[in-house]
Structure 1
Amino acid sequence: MEPVVDLRGAVALVGRFPALAGADLEVGPGEVVLLQGPNGAGKTTLLRCCAGLVPVVDGVARVLGCDLRADRRQVRRRVGLLAHATGLYDELTVEANVAFWGRAGGCRPEDVEAALARMGLDGRLRSVDVGRLSAGQRRRTSLAVLLARRPELWLLDEPHAGLDQAGRDLVDGLIGDASAAGVTVLLSSHELDRAAAVAHRQVEVVGGHVRPVPSADEPPAAPAEVDVEPGGPDVA
């Protein structure tokens, strides 16, 4: 079976800085993989590469069978990226935002309704302008957009951020249900205990490289040697 994510020696630059410096990662259908690592290690860049938003300049990079080096646009309708910036329109209501972004991803009206209900936004909040929402309510709206679009690959950057305990539990349930339905999930998180509980395995992103996280009875891998230019940007 073809992997959903297949990166081999993938290199991606942010400016002249190698945010990915020869990354190797293979993820299968329905798998939930946690990306861990310090700020600036390349986690966000890896997610954005898989979403077709950052070009891969060297190596192999295939997502859902699409060659990202040949045409990274073709994969964008099939993946869902939950990023730090919501991309929501403050002047539109919750429902209008989910419907707008859902239509951009080819979703059906019933998908919008189901997503609003799943995220607890089908009551009075559906008619509230996004600019008036709390941080947690905005996060729920972004998650509703993701659900409505029904992507084959979820790319989640700190998905629990801004949510209360109930919201965090809801995210964990969404990830479990998505995986059970065959959706592949890549997530980065600093809440390692919580995120590890929903992940099938963990990998560590260090200096633009990806390496497995050893189990308790395995010795840790040797640090990767990376040549970087001094003064590079802080890339998450």
Structure 2
Amino acid sequence: MRTIERVVARGVVKTYGATAALRGVNATIEAGRLTLIEGANGSGKSTLLGILGTVIRPTSGSLDYEPLGDDVGTARGTIGWLSHESLAYPDLSGRQNVELAAGFHGLDAHEAWRHAEERFELGSFALRPLRTCSRGQRQRIALARALVHQPSLVLLDEPTTGLDRAGVARLLAVVDAEVERGAAVVVVSHEPEVFRERAAARLVLERGRVVTSAS
């Protein structure tokens, strides 16, 4: 599988009618490090994450997924996304959700499940319909599903929501492992202090503009 080594956003603008969500954003996301995106509600954080993840098309500007260029189709296959909501199938079990994602990426479903079960400590709850699981349990399953194919670009949208202290610690251990593996990890969070020690780069947005960009 071809991998993403760097994502470069140049002059990215996104408008919804008369509302500008992003106003000429320039940013570089590097492999092997955590980039933290901060900002108040409505600053454009989730819109930028959606554009990086190819699910939102910018109104203008460009994104290069180096060395893939602007090949969005190929880039999409090596992106792992953890949304604010799990977006998993509620009537399928956790295991079925993970195995289904593995199949989409051409992986052996049984082997993918075995690895995910061990890594994310997925107990008997993962054999129940997802809708019967707690928020923290759904989060673990969603994270396992997002990372099943070892993506080179990992996007995490408000990943600590609903997690207790143990859940946050488990999440941070996974983030550390993904960075160590060489993935480019991008986090959007209303609790940025959880990630700041780990962040090699920070982007602070205000009304759709980057007001702070630091490494």
Please confirm whether the aligned pair reaches a TM-score higher than 0.5, indicating the same fold.
yes
Cα distance per residue 1:43-69 (max 9 Å; x no partner): 10111101111112322211244455x
Within a 5 Å distance, the mapping from 1:29-178 to structure 2 comes to 29-68=31-70, 72-109=72-109, 110-121=111-122, 123-178=123-178
CA distance in 2, matches of 1:53, 1:135: 24
Q: Which runs of 5+ in 2 are unaligned?
A: none
* Contact 2:5-2:152 within 8 A present in 1 as well: no
In terms of Rg, which structure is larger?
1
Matching residue within 11, 22, 25 for 1:23: 25
| Seq. identity, % | 30
CA drift at 1:15:
4.2
Q: Distance in 1 between matches of 2:5 and 2:210?
A: 17
1:16, distance to aligned residue in structure 2 (A): 4.3
**Measured at CA, do residues 135 and 3 of structure 1 come closer, stay the same or move farther in structure 2, by a change above 3 Å?**
same
Shift, 1:199, TM fit? 1.2
Contact 2:136–2:163 (8 Å) recurs in 1: yes
Select the structure that is richer in strand: 2
User: What secondary structure is seen at the aligned counterpart in 1 of 2:161?
Assistant: coil
Give the 3 Å change call, closer, same or farther, for CA 41–33 of structure 1 in structure 2: same
- Between 13-22 and 179-188, report the one with greater CA deviation: 13-22
Instruction: Give me the whole-angstrom Cα distance separating, in 2, the residues matched to 1:140 and 1:181.
Output: 19
Paired residues, what number? 211
Matched, 1:12 2:31: no
TM-score by length of 2: 0.90
Displacement of 1:91 in angstroms is: 1.1
Q: TM-score, length-normalised on structure 1? A: 0.82
Check conservation: 1:175, 1:198, Cα contact below 8 A: no
Q: Distance in 2 between matches of 1:16 and 1:111?
A: 45
